[in-house]
Amino acid sequence: MKMERTFSIIKPNALLDNNIGNIIKRFEEEGLRIAALKLAHLSKEKAEGFYIEHKDRPFFGELVAFMTSAPVVLMCLEGENAVERNREIMGATNPAEAAENTLRKLYAKSIGENAVHGSDSLASAERELAYFFEKDEICPRF
């Protein structure tokens, strides 16, 4: 058993489309548990800091504008192989390439407005969780 915690965001387009419940339901059905959860409307500075690794990419301005355009849901998901499991459930970055029944196939509008974020490694998960949550906001069950 490789129990892990990962970081997830339900992005503005999914929140505006009233898909928060559908997305959380899917994580629970797949055996991931919600260990922390809050809504936030990100500032430009907070969104830029989160996506700092992409700061030189041509889509950076558009990405930050989108992520600050409406509230988001910030979550800690935990479970066996949580980092990789979450990435599988999300599907490819571009919904046109995402597998059937993945969250991005179901709920993304475009490569930019792609419904969900999930940490890409255990190291990213630790950084991202610490960036958005105080220690006492995470309620682990393992």
**Type of residue numbered 114:** N
Identify residues 45-64 at the interface with ligand DAT (CB under 6 A): 54, 59, 63
Among 30, 84, 120, 137, binds ligand DAT (CB under 6 A): 120
- C-alpha span between 142 and 135 (Å, rounded): 15
117 exposure class (CB count in 10 Å sphere: 0-12, 13-18, 19+): buried
- The one segment of 5-13, 34-42, 112-120, 132-140 that binds Mg ion by CB under 5 A: 112-120
Select the binding partner of residue 63 from Mg ion, ligand DAT, none (C-beta < 5 to 8 A, by kind): ligand DAT
Measured over the CA atoms of residue 53, residue 67, residue 37 and residue 49, the dihedral's sign is positive
Rule CB under 6 A: which residues touch ligand DAT? 54, 59, 63, 93, 111-112, 114, 117, 120
